[in-house]
Amino acid sequence: MPSSNAQPIPAARPVIGEEEIEAAVRVLRSGRVVQGPEVAAFEEGFSELVDGRHCVAVNSGTSALHLLLMALGIGPGDEVIVPSFSFAASANAVRLVGADVVFADIDPDTYCLAPAAVEAAITPRTAAIMPVHLYGHPAAMDRIMAVADKHKLAVVEDACQAHAAALNGTPVGAFGSGGTFSFYPTKNMHSLEGGMISTADAEVARTLRLLRNQGMEQRYANEIVGANMRMTDVSAAVGRVQLAKLPGWTEQRIANAAYLSQHITAQGVVTPVVAEGARHIYHQYTIRVSGDRDAAMAKLTEAGIGNAVYYPTPIHRLKPYWEPDQKAGRNWDLPETERAAAEVVSLPVHPSLTEGDLERIVTAVNALGENL
């Protein structure tokens, strides 16, 4: 066990280094602070991560989902198939455009939408499927795209946790009608707050640019009703610094995860499964524990190992979803979602972990095995 005076290892460690600070100051001194040259350069740079698709920067991942759904014309009367095992933002975006959320169950290995469950959830009102690349593992996009093509549905990839994840060599955000990314500080790269939308469709990209800016391309010549979801140049400048570091950080996360998976041998603990052809970029390193999870987490915390549950309550059980469903007598059958919500624990995997940190994490998790 680690000595009692060892520093706790945080679950996440957002980086705001000297380069990020210098970039922000440079923009502030320039006086050009909103949607200027830094945003354009950030969009161009990010495009390389998504096979050259058009990229449109906005002020958060939630805005990215919201605007992409709007740009695809999804609204009242439409249904969107969403996993309940995700952050609420995935479903919230659907509700924000006035469409209905239909929950489908997940694959127990990858925690992402199960293609068969998606197909079973399709109705005449289904307009789109929203796979979430949870924890940085790509959803089964080959099979989901086949289902979408067969039924002529849009696909909105929620890649908010999955920058540079890929399946069979294709990056997430380059499969569907569009993809969305978050640059919240705890993500694999950040821009303080921010989001990005990728799409292969130039018309959709143009609509997104209008929607984020009150429907204007030229000032006061409003073409459609839009919002203000612009990214600041300060955010974009920070994002560009982080984008340059992302490849190295991602390799480090993958190496950290490989170390943990190789050395965690505790009975009653299941380490992450990587699907064939998948590039998991380990936004989270998430284990399943059998037995008393609260007790296990308390032991990890006692040993100074940061840990957290993403997400303890599936979206369908959150009040804004649960109450209307109860009223309507609607019950979702989501056994794998319920089981995952009860069993998962995420451990530190961020690139600033030292070898000593990794050894401490392994020791603490393996010590759990005796009690699980």
Q: Which residues are near ligand PLP by CB under 6 A?
A: 60-62, 86-87, 89-90, 132, 158, 160-161, 182, 184, 195
Least distance between ligand PLP and beta carbon 92 (Å): 9
Distances (CA, A) of 139 to 106, 172, 313, 329, 369: 10, 9, 21, 30, 30
Q: Measure the CA–CA gap between 179 and 156, rounded to whole angstroms.
A: 6
**CB count, 10 Å around CB of 356?**
11
Cβ 249 to ligand PLP, closest distance in Å?
17
Shortest Å distance, C-beta 265 to ligand PLP: 30
Query: Which residues are part of the catalytic machinery?
Result: 187
**At a CB cut-off of 8 Å and minimum separation 6, what does 234 contact?**
24, 27, 28, 33, 38, 192
Q: Which amino acid is at 207?
A: T
**Rounded alpha-carbon distances, angstroms, from residue 304 to 269, 298, 347, 365:** 19, 10, 11, 11
Q: Taking the complex as a whole, how short is the minimal distance between the CB of residue 90 and ligand PLP, in angstroms?
A: 5
Q: Which is nearer to ligand PLP, 62 or 213 (CB)?
A: 62
Q: Which residue's CB atom is positioned nearest to ligand PLP?
A: 61
Closest to ligand PLP by CB, 195 vs 304, is 195
DSSP secondary structure string for all residues of 10-46: -S------HHHHHHHHHHHHHT--BSSHHHHHHHHHH
Q: Least distance to ligand PLP from the beta carbon of 126, Å?
A: 20
- Strand segments, DSSP code E, in the chain are 54-58, 79-83, 100-104, 126-129, 154-158, 166-167, 170-171, 178-182, 195-199, 269-270, 278-279, 285-289, 344-347
Unique residue bearing structure tokens 């380069």: 19
> How far from chain centre, in Å, is Cα 85?
12
- Residue number, 35 or 63, with CB nearest to ligand PLP: 63
In the numeric block, which tokens belong to residue 153?
């549905």
306 neighbors 11 (Cβ within 8 angstroms): yes
Evaluate the omega torsion of the peptide bond into residue 321 and state whether it is cis, within 30 degrees of 0. no
The token pair at 263 is 């050395």
Please give the structure tokens belonging to residue 270: 């299941």
In the complex, minimum distance from the CB of residue 144 to ligand PLP, in angstroms, rounded to a whole number: 16
Between 111 and 362, name the residue whose CB sits nearer to ligand PLP.
Answer: 111
Identify which of residues 253 and 360 has a Cβ nearer to ligand PLP in the complex.
253
Residue closer to ligand PLP (CB basis): 136 or 304: 136
CB of 349 to ligand PLP, least distance (A): 15
Question: Which residue's CB is nearer to ligand PLP, number 182 or number 256?
Answer: 182
Closest CA to 112 of 88, 93, 132, 82: 132
Q: Tell me the C-alpha distance between 87 and 332, whole Å.
A: 17
Interatomic CA distance for residues 8 and 103, integer angstroms: 37
